Structure 1
Amino acid sequence: MHGSATSLATSVSSWLLVLLCAVSGAYCLRRVSGSGGPAGEAVMGLGMALMAVPLGGGDGWRVPVLTVVFCGASLHALWLLRGGAHHAHHLVGSLTMVYMALMAGTGTAGGQGHGQAHAPGAGPGLLTGALLLYYAGYVVFGGTRLIAAGAGPGASAAAGRGGPTELIRACRLAMGMGMLAMLLTM
């Protein structure tokens, strides 16, 4: 009985992550108006949703497809860096997704298998740990910016590409939390 309750909770949380990422990606896709940022965010959100779908055994196609998509997104983010360092987060995100897709394909995360019992005191691999720290900081920083923006004057001013600034920040924060959740499951 306990095992089925745990399995149900895991399945529900996986589908909630899929929904969160899909909604964020769809919102970013709606905002696309020719600039690279929203398009990259849309690819990230929708790709994260696809990666989080709990398919069970029949998902052998997913790893190569996602790896190719996120390698392409990484190249796009690298291209955007010529416009300024503010696109570095897109590059980190794309490369993180490549890493997670490859680790899902090999059944390892930071050198440890998903199905293997972890030795006491054995934490995540170095790269996984560094990415966890990065996204934890991103989420905390993004959350404080969102709170501060909601408290300031002109908080509901529209952003240049079709939506309130808070909603755009909330989408980015949601994707950061999704990335953190996916890294925590590795």
Structure 2
Amino acid sequence: MHGPAMSGWLLMALCAVTGAYCLLRSGGETGEGRRAARAEALMGFGMAAMAVPAAVMTPPAWGWGVYAGLFGVASLRALWSLRRGGHHLHHLVGSSAMVYMALTMAPGGGAAHGGHAGHGVAAAGGVPLLTGLLLAYYAVYVLWSGSRLIPVAAVTAGGGGPTGGGWSTRPELALACRLTMGLAMFAMLLTL
């Protein structure tokens, strides 16, 4: 990821913690909820790996192909799962955006940019229209998921505690993770 090292480290830590929580959450879910939590964990860990500051560690040239391949497979899986409905359209957009960012940051695609020599699809920063559309999508998604978080956090059981289950099954934590990853994706797209 391009940008100052401190923001890269913070973004990496935030995405890694979010991915770890989603992975833990997948153990308490069944069926569709488990698949969604695993997909979100993959996104969190992938975003954490991409957010490592370039000044600290520049991935090998083949690493960007691995990212693109991994998230390409995740995109195909989300596309296949769209027939069941649910959160899969968002997973398709997210994994496709990860493929796009990996291809944009891969060496040999364009001009030098922000410490990574030669990263770019059509030019440094990728295709401006596509980057803009993804930024708009994630801006709307963050606002939407943030608005959904407010009423869920206000729902409590008679004793003032969370309703049912342990900490890994609390719906507001899952929404907070989605909000966090949406913000992180928006930030990563801004650095293209």
Q: TM-score range by the shorter chain?
A: 0.7 to 0.9
Alignment of 1:88-167 (within 5 A): 88-105=89-106, 106=109, 107-108=119-120, 111-113=122-124, 125-154=128-157, 156-158=162-164, 162-167=168-173
Name the residue aligned to 1:170: 176
Q: Which amino acid aligns with 1:113?
A: A
Structure that is richer in strand per residue: 1
TM-score, normalization by structure 2 = 0.79
In the alignment, the residues of structure 1 paired with residue 77 and residue 188 of structure 2 have an alpha-carbon distance, to the nearest angstrom, of 23
Of residues 169, 173, 179 in structure 1, which corresponds to 2:185? Answer: 179
Structure 2 stretches of 5 or more lacking a match? 110-118
Residue 152 of structure 1: how far off its partner (Å): 3.8
Residue 58 of structure 1: how far off its partner (Å): 3.7
Structure 1 residues 85 and 165: CA distance shift in structure 2, 3 A: closer
In the alignment, the residues of structure 2 paired with residue 28 and residue 139 of structure 1 have an alpha-carbon distance, to the nearest angstrom, of 18
In the alignment, the residues of structure 2 paired with residue 128 and residue 24 of structure 1 have an alpha-carbon distance, to the nearest angstrom, of 24
TM-score, normalization by structure 1 = 0.82
| Matched residue SS, 1:13 | helix
Question: After the TM superposition, which segments of 4 or more aligned residues of structure 1 sit over 3 Å from their partners?
Answer: 55-58, 152-155, 158-162
- Structure 1 residue 29 and structure 2 residue 23: aligned? yes
Work out the percentage of aligned pairs sharing the same amino acid.
49
Structure 1 residues 99 and 138: CA distance shift in structure 2, 3 A: same
Residue 62 of structure 1: how far off its partner (Å): 2.1
Contact 2:36 / 2:87 at 8 angstroms: preserved in 1? no
In the alignment, the residues of structure 1 paired with residue 92 and residue 84 of structure 2 have an alpha-carbon distance, to the nearest angstrom, of 13
Q: Tell me whether 142-151 or 55-64 shows the greater mean CA deviation.
A: 55-64
In the alignment, the residues of structure 1 paired with residue 165 and residue 179 of structure 2 have an alpha-carbon distance, to the nearest angstrom, of 16
Aligned length: 169
Contact 1:67 / 1:98 at 8 angstroms: preserved in 2? yes
In the alignment, the residues of structure 2 paired with residue 21 and residue 80 of structure 1 have an alpha-carbon distance, to the nearest angstrom, of 24
Alignment of 1:63-74 (within 5 A): 63-74=64-75
Contact 1:80 / 1:87 at 8 angstroms: preserved in 2? yes
| Matched residue SS, 1:54 | coil
Give the CA RMSD over aligned residues. Answer: 2.4
What whole-Å deviation, never above 9, does each CA across 1:52-78 have from its counterpart, x for those lacking one? 111347412320110111011111111
What whole-Å deviation, never above 9, does each CA across 1:30-86 have from its counterpart, x for those lacking one? 122463111111110000000111134741232011011101111111121121153
Contact 1:128 / 1:183 at 8 angstroms: preserved in 2? yes
Contact 2:5 / 2:53 at 8 angstroms: preserved in 1? yes
Q: Which amino acid aligns with 2:120?
A: T
